[in-house]
């Protein structure tokens, strides 16, 4: 028959209850000895041999139980199951029930069979004494208490009832409440102990969780009692204070702990009093939070909470990363991220601070530095090299006397330097030369050596009273602009005339924008004449601007302004549309040439703009020619060559304007998508007086012809020059004031069929010129 017992008690707790059944084995020996002696005494009193048999059975049961308990000791119950515990509880119950049954039978035998008053008294006394042990030893098993009580009570009660005496029957039935009270007592004891065990377990779980939470806190924690002694210290606190894990701090005072930390180098002994005062202020509630830096550079932030029992809890954590991050953020807010120099905001604060502290001379200066051709460094060597240049230049500025120069970077390659004491007028040049010599020169950047020149603008304030940082910055910028416009000056001092010129320039920019928007620009055409027929074969379209107040403005003045403003393409669009329309009105008898700027060639829309002008005007493609300068091509050669190749493939003529004024014009003739070369006027100027100039012009013409390129000579202003070009040079076309100044479109119409005669005197000169 399988033994099973339903229970909600966890197996490990139930195991402790089962072990209590098998424990305290001395009581078994004492019980067996009491039973045997009682049977022996009854035997000597009554002479009934049956009591000797009872003594033997008691001994046999006791020995069997002792043996079973030894088996229990050897059983593997590290992780018990209820099935295992049921088996051992059942085996214990068999032995215990056997003893109780035998005691009950002994009383029955003495009362009903022997009917000896002493035997009856002795056996009942042994039974009642054993019943007491049922509660004390077997409370852990509800079933054991009930079964053992029943096994003891039923035989005794049967003997008293069968004895036939009313008094025996009364005494027998009075045993029932006694046994029931024992059962109830055992149940109460068992439930109490079970609740205690469960409570202890839950307390252990809570304590374990608390301990885990305490020792896994990111902050260190030290709890003090009302006497200032340490009662709780977590692992993080030990780690932060660099205390050996084996050191027991419980019961120690704060002074002892701080001395230990100082002894092990956490902070110098000289700061012991400071940190003790710091923590005392926290523990007494005078401060809620404080920060301390240890010798190893760590920042530890302390805070404290008061306890109701007059103790305190000190919490501290390593905030080094936060402090460093805050410092880095602060640095980023005040200093330029690339060069480390003060940024605009911090620079203004530094200047104001110096002015307020009167750390300055009588005259103060503001310098604006700019690197010449810095864009060229970025474009040719890469932005990472450009960044290195800015960093190294900033290093040189930082190595200068910080009392004399306060440098900053406002952005790009613009550096602003405050000069607290500019000195007298005689000192200014020395100050500026020293500054420029420091930052100019050769810079080693990666694998490149770069010669760096800088330009500077200086603005002065006669005294701190008249010092206006924003105003001086504007003036220094104007002075820098003047320096950039001069090849022989590396720096310039602001003068009022610069401001006037600047304002005039800004006004001119605004007026130019308005002129473009209102269509106030005009187009004139300069004839381009064939050297053979002396007839006009084409015209170069030139823009003109008549300012309503200033009169005619030279293209040399307003075209650079348009490029600077980024509106040059609007002028080009206007020129293309007007030139194509006028050329179409000329009856397809001559062509027209329009200049493209470097910005136009970088504009991916330029081909569409040209196509739209041709489409809207109806001008045949072969009558349009675009002129580009070598400097416009070289600024972005790959892109511009692609654009020109597209135009040439479409049938549009491409002329290289101002040939001979570039870097190495001859080397480009074979690689650029050109159809014509326009030789600059500088080649023509001296051909009538200098044979070498004439030979150079003829050589350029011959080389161009050999490459399949047409040749136009510009700047022809005399009949002698024209005669030599026709006879000795062999150019295809000529252009210049001799053949016509720029004229309106309607005037060109009257010249189309006109031939420019060459005087006889000039013809006679041709043979001798050679």
Give the contacts of 163 (CB within 8 A, at least 6 positions apart). Answer: 111, 112, 115, 169
DSSP assignment of 153-202 equals: HHHHHHHHHHT--HHHHHHHHHHHHHHHHHHHHHHHHHHHHHHHHHHHHH
Token pair, residue 768, equals: 């001798």
Token pair, residue 426, equals: 């005689």
Phi, psi at 546, each rounded to 5°: -100, 105
Token pair, residue 650, equals: 């479409």
590 CB burial (10 A radius; 0-12, 13-18, 19+): buried
Torsion angle of the four alpha carbons 36, 40, 41, 44, in this order, in degrees rounded to the nearest 10: 180
Q: Show the beta-strand stretches assigned E in 67-174.
A: none
At residue 133, the pLDDT reads 72
- Secondary structure (3-state) at 288: coil
At residue 140, the pLDDT reads 66
At residue 762, the pLDDT reads 43
Quickly list H helices, 216-271.
235-240, 254-263
User: Of 184, 87, 103, which Cα lies nearest the Cα of 151?
Assistant: 103
- Secondary structure (3-state) at 291: strand
Token pair, residue 428, equals: 């200014």
Phi, psi at 269, each rounded to 5°: -60, -30
Token pair, residue 704, equals: 């161009």
* Element housing 276 (H / E): helix 272-283
- Distance, CA of 237 to CA of 576 (rounded, Å): 81
Q: Show the beta-strand stretches assigned E in 454-579.
A: 454-461, 491-493, 522-530, 536-547, 551-553
Token pair, residue 296, equals: 């190893």
Long-range contacts of residues 713-716, Cβ cutoff 8 Å, at least 24 apart:
713/678, 713/679, 713/683, 713/684, 714/658, 714/678, 714/679, 714/680, 714/681, 714/684, 715/680, 715/681, 715/682, 715/684, 715/685, 716/684
Token pair, residue 678, equals: 């326009």
Give the contacts of 405 (CB within 8 A, at least 6 positions apart). Answer: 397, 417, 418, 419, 435
- Distance, CA of 139 to CA of 189 (rounded, Å): 7
Strands 710-713 vs 733-734: parallel, antiparallel or unpaired: parallel
Q: Which residues pair with 712 in a beta bridge?
A: 678, 733
User: Of 339, 368, 372, 366, which Cα lies nearest the Cα of 454?
Assistant: 372
Alpha-carbon Rg for the chain, nearest whole angstrom, is 58
- Distance, CA of 347 to CA of 408 (rounded, Å): 6
- Would you say the pTM of this structure is higher than 0.85? no
- Distance, CA of 364 to CA of 355 (rounded, Å): 10
Q: Which residue ranges form the domains of the chain, and what is each CATH number?
A: 11-200 (no CATH), 220-324 (3.30.450.20), 339-494 (3.30.70.270), 520-769 (3.20.20.450)
At residue 199, the pLDDT reads 67
Which residues of the chain are under the pLDDT cut of 70?
Answer: 1-8, 12, 135-136, 139-140, 164, 178, 186, 188-190, 193-197, 199, 202, 204-205, 207, 210, 213, 307-309, 359-361, 635, 662-668, 757-770
Give the contacts of 172 (CB within 8 A, at least 6 positions apart). Answer: 156, 157, 159, 160, 161
Residue 747: how many other CB atoms lie within 10 Å: 14
Are the C-beta atoms of residues 583 and 623 closer than 8 Å to each other?
Answer: yes
Give the contacts of 152 (CB within 8 A, at least 6 positions apart). Answer: 100, 101, 103, 104, 127, 130, 131, 134, 179
At residue 560, the pLDDT reads 87
């Amino acid at each position: 028959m399988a033994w099973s017992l339903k229970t909600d008690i966890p197996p490990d707790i139930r195991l402790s209850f089962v072990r209590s059944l098998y424990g305290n084995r001395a009581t078994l020996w004492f019980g067996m000895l009491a039973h045997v002696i009682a049977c022996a005494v009854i035997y000597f009193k009554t002479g009934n041999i049956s009591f000797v048999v009872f003594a033997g059975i008691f001994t046999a049961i006791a020995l069997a139980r002792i043996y079973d308990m030894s088996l229990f000791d050897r059983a593997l119950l590290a992780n018990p199951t209820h099935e295992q515990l049921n088996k051992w509880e059942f085996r214990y119950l068999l032995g215990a029930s056997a003893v109780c049954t035998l005691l009950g039978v002994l009383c029955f035998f003495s009362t009903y069979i022997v009917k000896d008053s002493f035997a009856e008294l002795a056996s009942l006394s042994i039974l009642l004494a054993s019943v007491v042990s049922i509660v004390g030893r077997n409370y852990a098993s509800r079933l054991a208490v009930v079964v053992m009580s029943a096994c003891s009570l039923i035989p005794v009660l049967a003997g008293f009832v069968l004895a036939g005496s009313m008094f025996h029957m009364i005494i027998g039935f009075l045993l029932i409440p006694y046994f029931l009270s024992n059962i109830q007592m055992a149940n109460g004891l068992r439930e109490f102990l079970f609740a205690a065990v469960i409570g202890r377990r839950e307390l252990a779980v809570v304590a374990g969780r608390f301990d885990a939470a305490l020792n896994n806190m990111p902050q260190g924690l030290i709890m003090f009692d009302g006497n200032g002694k340490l009662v709780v210290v977590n692992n993080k606190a030990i780690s932060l204070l660099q205390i050996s894990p084996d050191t027991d701090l419980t019961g120690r005072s704060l002074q002892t702990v701080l001395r230990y930390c100082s002894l092990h180098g956490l902070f110098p002994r000289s700061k012991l009093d400071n940190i003790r005062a710091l923590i005392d202020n926290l523990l007494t509630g005078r401060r809620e939070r404080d920060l301390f830096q240890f010798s190893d550079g760590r920042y530890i932030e302390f805070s404290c909470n008061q306890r109701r029992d007059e103790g305190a809890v000190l919490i501290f954590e390593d905030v080094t990363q936060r402090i460093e991050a805050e410092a880095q953020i602060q640095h980023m807010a005040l200093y330029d991220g690339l060069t480390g120099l003060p940024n605009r905001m911090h620079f203004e604060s530094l200047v104001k601070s110096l002015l307020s502290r009167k750390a300055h001379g009588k005259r103060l200066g503001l310098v604006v530095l700019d690197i010449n051709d810095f864009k060229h460094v970025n474009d040719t060597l890469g932005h990472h090299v450009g960044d290195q240049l800015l960093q190294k230049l900033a290093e040189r500025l930082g190595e200068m006397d910080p009392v004399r120069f306060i440098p900053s970077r406002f952005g790009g390659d613009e550096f602003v330097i405050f000069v607290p004491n500019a000195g007298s007028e005689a000192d200014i040049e020395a100050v500026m030369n020293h500054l420029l010599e420091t930052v100019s020169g050769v810079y080693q950047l990666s694998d490149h050596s770069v010669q760096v020149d800088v330009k500077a603008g200086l603005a002065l304030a006669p005294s701190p009273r008249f010092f206006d940082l924003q105003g001086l910055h504007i003036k220094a910028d104007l002075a820098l602009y003047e320096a950039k416009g001069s090849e022989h000056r590396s720096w310039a001092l602001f003068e009022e005339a610069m401001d006037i010129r600047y304002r005039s320039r800004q006004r001119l920019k605004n007026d130019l924008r308005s002129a473009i928007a209102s269509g106030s620009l005009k187009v004139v055409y300069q004839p381009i004449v064939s050297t053979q027929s002396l007839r006009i074969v084409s015209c170069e379209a030139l823009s003109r601007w008549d300012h309503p107040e200033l009169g005619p403005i030279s293209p040399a003045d307003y075209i650079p302004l348009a490029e600077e403003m980024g509106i040059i393409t609007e002028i080009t669009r206007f020129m293309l549309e007007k030139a194509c329309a006028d050329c179409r009105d000329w009856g397809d008898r001559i062509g027209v040439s329009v200049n493209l700027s470097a910005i136009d060639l970088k504009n991916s829309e330029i081909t569409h703009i040209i196509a739209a002008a041709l489409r809207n005007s109806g001008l045949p493609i072969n009558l349009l020619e675009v002129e580009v300068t070598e400097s416009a091509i070289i600024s972005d050669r790959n892109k511009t060559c692609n654009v020109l190749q597209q135009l040439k493939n479409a049938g549009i003529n491409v002329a290289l304007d101002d040939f001979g004024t570039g870097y190495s014009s001859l080397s480009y003739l074979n690689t650029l998508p050109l159809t014509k070369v326009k030789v600059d006027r500088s080649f023509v100027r001296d051909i009538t007086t200098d044979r070498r100039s004439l030979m150079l012009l003829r050589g350029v013409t011959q080389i161009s012809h050999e490459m399949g390129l047409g040749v136009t000579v510009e700047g022809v202003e005399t009949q002698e020059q024209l005669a030599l070009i026709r006879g000795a040079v062999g150019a295809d076309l000529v252009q210049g004031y001799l053949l016509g100044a720029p004229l309106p479109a309607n005037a060109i119409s009257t010249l189309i069929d006109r031939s420019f005669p060459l005087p006889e005197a000039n013809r006679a000169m041709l043979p001798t010129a050679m």
